Chain A
């Protein structure tokens, strides 16, 4: 079984809709992350959480919010989706000693 899972894997939605992407991990790590990936721009950090009570903005947090429901669960919400949020979204968890990131399979989101 995969250590980091994401649902849904693909989603097409319309401008203005609220969308939630979910992530679960079984690695037992406290640290979790949400990234988006766009062609030519690499991975950019949206939000991260170092434990259940800790939430931090990344470099591109505008238009997004997160919830850390438990050590194993970290969800990303788009309150009102817009077309430039069309991207591949990855959840990750990290080894606290080295910060090695372990990624989920990704969610491909298309906003029309």
Chain B
């Protein structure tokens, strides 16, 4: 099956920037999602990239390189409430989720 790789955990300081990388198999790829999930809650949609490039939404940006099978989610001006798991999900014929990256924001 298709694999999605993302780091297990990242720690950053309040006000800083964190970049969460995600790699996936390129064959049959149709698009890439990022979701945010706070502990015990449902995942919520952050972004969807189909074309190469950077898409910015406020403090969050998502980048995609289709040829490299690579995406990243950039979180700027980190706030304590950004402490959560960030799920990368790639769409082939079906959608598949990565295991998630736990981001811990420290004061």
Contact = CB atoms under 8 A, between A and B. Distances in A.
A100 B48 contact: yes
A40 B97 CA distance: 12
A26 interface: no
Interface of A: 40-45, 59, 88, 90, 98-106, 108
Nearest to A2: B42
Given A100-B45, A101-B33, A101-B89, 10 more contacts: A42-B100, A44-B97, A88-B40, A98-B31, A98-B48, A99-B95, A101-B95, A103-B42, A105-B41, A105-B42
A41 B33 contact: no
Interface of B: 1, 8, 31, 33, 35, 40-45, 48, 87, 89, 91, 94-95, 97-100
A103 B99 contact: no
A42 B99 contact: yes
A90 B45 CA distance: 14
